Amino acid sequence: MSGAPGGSAGVNGSLMLAAAIQMESGPDFERNLDRAVQLVELARSRGAELIALPENFSFLRVGDVPFLTHRLDSPLVRRLRELAGRLGIYLLAGSFHEEVPDADKMFNTSLLLGPDGGILAAYRKIHLFDIGLEDGHGFRESARFHAGDEAVVCATPLATFGLSVCYDLRFPELYRRLSAAGAEVLLVPSAFTEATGKDHWEVLVRCRAIENLCYVIAPALTGRPAPRIRNWGHSLIVDPWGNVLAGAGEREAVITAEIDRAYLLEKRRQLPALDHRRLDIHSAE
């Protein structure tokens, strides 16, 4: 379990306006990044202090287009750090392909940036999406990506955040570890496909909120980047009781909701399920 020091969690009763960005992405890196910056600036103009971008927001590989990778000191990361510092926000850089020196695979990496432009936490996607379809097509992330091996929690003056990416959502044991380490807000940048999204997306997001008594902020890709691919969209912000505070449809959107730490603590007092966990029995270690 790792994270970056960012101060203590917000004081009782503190409110934070959070935004989830829903956008289209594809192989045009510059177009995607410009659009992401526009939407982040729009969210900030609405008062958002934490703004979350979706998985693969800056580049989504289609067909035979080569993968595009970045290091943590790349122009992409520097531009996002400048954006966070200029706007004075906490910015979740949903995920991008992180280059691994001297390796033929990469990481799917999510960064949490602070209002001074610093990198507060880096999370590398643990669960890789490998699936075969009946028509012979499928996805094998493990063919191109290394799996991360570290759960990441980051304490900030606003809240304590637990990081994850997309397919992680199907593995509740990860979120148990995050909440046990103090997470109050779970971040789930995603690119769910329509095939699974229409039946599973909202159910899974709300489950992770309910069982961990956490807020969940889940920004998602939308649109159809290729004839066989349709991203589900329907970004969500859910409270610790499982209530949907804000949701998007299928179009690009900025959704916002208040994150109220006093409400979270109240619900945890009313239903002290987190205190009743038997991590000694349920731990996979």
Q: Which domain holds residue 148?
A: 16-282
Full-model pTM: 0.93
Pairing of strands 160-163, 153-155: antiparallel
Phi, psi of 199 (to 5 degrees): -105, -30
136-178 pLDDT per residue, tens? 556 789 999 999 999 999 999 999 999 999 999 999 999 999 9
Look at residue 216 and tell me if it is in a domain: yes
Look at residue 246 and tell me if it is in a domain: yes
Q: Using CA atoms, how far apart are residues 84 and 111, in angstroms rounded to an integer?
A: 12
The secondary element (H helix, E strand) that includes residue 155 is: strand 153-155
Look at residue 123 and tell me if it is in a domain: yes
pLDDT at 5: 43
pLDDT at 102: 86
Look at residue 9 and tell me if it is in a domain: no
Per the annotation, the verdict on 55 as an active-site residue is yes
In the chain, helix, strand, coil percent, each to 5? 30, 30, 40
Return the percentage of the chain with pLDDT > 90, whole number. Answer: 84
Per the annotation, the verdict on 166 as an active-site residue is yes
85-143 pLDDT per residue, tens? 999 999 999 999 999 988 889 999 999 999 999 999 999 999 999 986 555 556 789 99
CATH number, domain of 269, equals: 3.60.110.10
pLDDT at 163: 99
Q: Rounded mean pLDDT of 56-71?
A: 93
Q: Rounded mean pLDDT of 49-71?
A: 95
Alpha-carbon distances of 138 from 62, 127, 181, 204, rounded to whole Å = 14, 16, 35, 22
Look at residue 176 and tell me if it is in a domain: yes
Look at residue 251 and tell me if it is in a domain: yes
Tally of structural domains, the chain? 1
Catalytic residue among 24, 125, 141, 214: 125
Catalytic residue among 166, 184, 214, 252: 166
Look at residue 224 and tell me if it is in a domain: yes
Tell me which residue of 140, 112, 158, 120 sits closest to 264, measured CA to CA.
158
Look at residue 3 and tell me if it is in a domain: no
Q: Which two tokens stand for residue 104?
A: 């033929």
229-280 pLDDT per residue, tens? 899 999 999 999 999 999 999 999 999 999 999 999 999 999 999 999 988 8
Catalytic residue among 24, 49, 55, 252: 55
Q: Using CA atoms, how far apart are residues 264 and 214, in angstroms rounded to an integer?
A: 7
